[in-house]
Structure 1
């Protein structure tokens, strides 16, 4: 039976577990790719490794949704956090004794794969604990925790990496994931076991067909929104993922130690924008309708232009960095508001028995363009490093066109 109280014991434990787990995850997402970029100095290699690492997350997201709908969601969280802690312990022992690029690719692929299987369980557990009245607030809190962890993680990671190197970060992440797993053991999530006699592949095929059929026959508007998000991720999200570290650590003239710390601050500011977006969703934007979401996407695209202009005009490195901070903060604010609104819409229109696999399928399809976008931007930055503003202008124009074109879809989303 759903809880009427927002901060019930179980939801509170989920929140605390998320804080601890995501803190370690944020540090790793910051440190491992940055270490690789600093050691190789190649935006193209950095982007390619990041893209390869992202693929398992996309592939395993639907499986994570299927698991979330069939087994106790708490058990999924506990097992995957224990697995992540063990993975990083193994990485720490192998670090420096095997091929660096191979080790990083395999580790990042496993980390992203675990994340892809993990997050649907977290998202799918919320409707089981909340009534409709508290659903938006609960989703906003989960997103704010994500943003807060991403805010603290990169800043701490930047300081640790800049002064002490990678090893302390690995040790902290092992402890964080272990604590999170222990915490999650005490969560109780309502669960009714489903009896399945089919093999895993038949279950995957059946459930994906069921989710796809729901989109095609009952809610085709969801498919159109997925296409929009997919295109937006191709041009804007991929640009931020690749461009932010490349510009700060390679294009701007800062030392390796300083650039690592500045990149950590930039990641923290980006996460702060996500936190602001979560707060605004429950206050100023609480009544913001899905029909107007094209405005959020359009403004996120427009905010890339100041970065490109400051670089094109040859302004000082510290001024360009300040412009980057302001822009990514606002971009993330608008993006988070959009994400919360879209996730809540999906949860409301989807039957409870389909929520887990629908969330995972939507996440999978929405993210499938990001590896391609990362590879493209890695190639572009590799060849236009001295004129990086050209790459940013291209991303801004394409993203803005997508944002404006999405008005036609969002205007009829509730029809």
Structure 2
């Protein structure tokens, strides 16, 4: 029995999904290319350029650092230009950079500084592309079908996260740095397919706002809504403590539990399979529970499941791996269900002309929390062994969850 007072909207006729499906196909190509590229960069750094561990770490960080810089600016760009054209530019821009790098690599001229410039540039473009994608979803979705549309987008991303590591490894094994050319081709295909999707733009509202007012509009929109504020705070806290816990677990698994890097990679992949299951279940849960209840339960799974990781028994690799696999799977299910519903809340409650800037606020806090969480894990290892240190972010995850549930319970329509 549905406990939400809202009635479930009737399913949209298949033809009304045409524009979304065209956009979805285009973004499936872009998301797959992006995930393969994410794993290909450190593999190229290690296997082809021969960089040392510190330089590989720099390579990985350069994929995310542009997000913190570009996200606030990107939010304004997304809200002020034609989003269809912006996505096209982002896809073709990454394709051009990767194709150029592939040509340089084939001639043995891809140096480490040039490689890092490539990583930084594609990271900056990807941050804008991700914001644009989120802002476009309400413009291509049938009326009343935002939740279903977000579920489909998250499902594609989850599948890409499953196949990304394996595909990156296989392509590098077959073609070396030629993988960059292959990824460029997929981005180009995504750009071509995006031309077939029509965006329901509506009328643009003229504004006389100052630059600073436009820049801070996203933060003011979030501040004005108790639910949006609760989601923002929970997202930042969760990413901080979750990243700290995962970082500490990786150290613990490799140094204390004696797992191989392959085993650890497979365990993390189980979380991606959980994400696929979560994306498939998100819409069904909406028909049975109130949205705030779904988000609370989903965040409970995402926050409590990783707290089983410190319980992994040393000296028993198979039980430890089984426990971690269950934890990562449940974590993947919960986090994806939460993401589907929280993004749907933003799409439904925020005006179209502010979607880019509001999305930028959330992504800034999300990536900022992730970066600080990794640094926090490093600081903890200077004071405690990893197995002991893991309990500290576990306590943080539980405390953040309780704060989130309390915030939802205080909403005017809670119940």
TM-score range, shorter chain: 0.7 to 0.9
Give runs of aligned pairs for residues 315-354 of structure 1, distance below 5 A.
315-316=316-317, 319-354=319-354
The number of residues matched between the two structures is 397
Correspondent of 2:401 among 394, 399, 403: 403
Give runs of aligned pairs for residues 140-151 of structure 1, distance below 5 A.
140-151=151-162
1:72 touches 1:189 (CA, 8 Å); kept in 2? no
Give runs of aligned pairs for residues 102-251 of structure 1, distance below 5 A.
102-161=113-172, 163-164=173-174, 166-192=176-202, 194=204, 203=211, 205-216=212-223, 218-237=224-243, 239-240=245-246, 242=247
**CA-atom RMSD, angstroms?**
3.4
Q: 1:314 to 1:393 in 2, by over 3 A?
A: farther
Secondary structure of 1:369's aligned partner: helix
1:41 offset after TM fit, Å?
Answer: 6.5
Q: TM-score, normalised by structure 2?
A: 0.82
Distance (whole Å) between structure 1 residues aligned to residue 226 and residue 403 of structure 2: 17
Q: 1:106 to 1:400 in 2, by over 3 A?
A: farther
CA distances 1:77-131 after superposition (whole Å, capped 9, x unpaired)? 111011111222233345564553x455433332332222112222222222334
CA distances 1:354-382 after superposition (whole Å, capped 9, x unpaired)? 2232222222233322222223335656x
* Bigger mean CA offset, 289-298 vs 125-134: 289-298
2:162 touches 2:273 (CA, 8 Å); kept in 1? yes
Correspondent of 2:300 among 298, 301, 313: 298
Correspondent of 1:86 among 77, 88, 96: 96
Distance (whole Å) between structure 2 residues aligned to residue 5 and residue 296 of structure 1: 30
Structure 1 alignment gaps of length 5 or more: none
2:71 touches 2:360 (CA, 8 Å); kept in 1? yes
Correspondent of 2:32 among 23, 29, 35: 23
2:44 touches 2:177 (CA, 8 Å); kept in 1? no
Higher RCO (CA 8 Å, separation ≥ 6 residues) = 1
2:74 touches 2:131 (CA, 8 Å); kept in 1? yes
1:243 touches 1:377 (CA, 8 Å); kept in 2? yes
Check if 1:392 corresponds to 2:393: no
CA distances 1:314-343 after superposition (whole Å, capped 9, x unpaired)? 222x55344333322211110111111111
Correspondent of 2:310 among 308, 311, 317: 308
Structure 2 alignment gaps of length 5 or more: 1-10
2:241 touches 2:396 (CA, 8 Å); kept in 1? yes
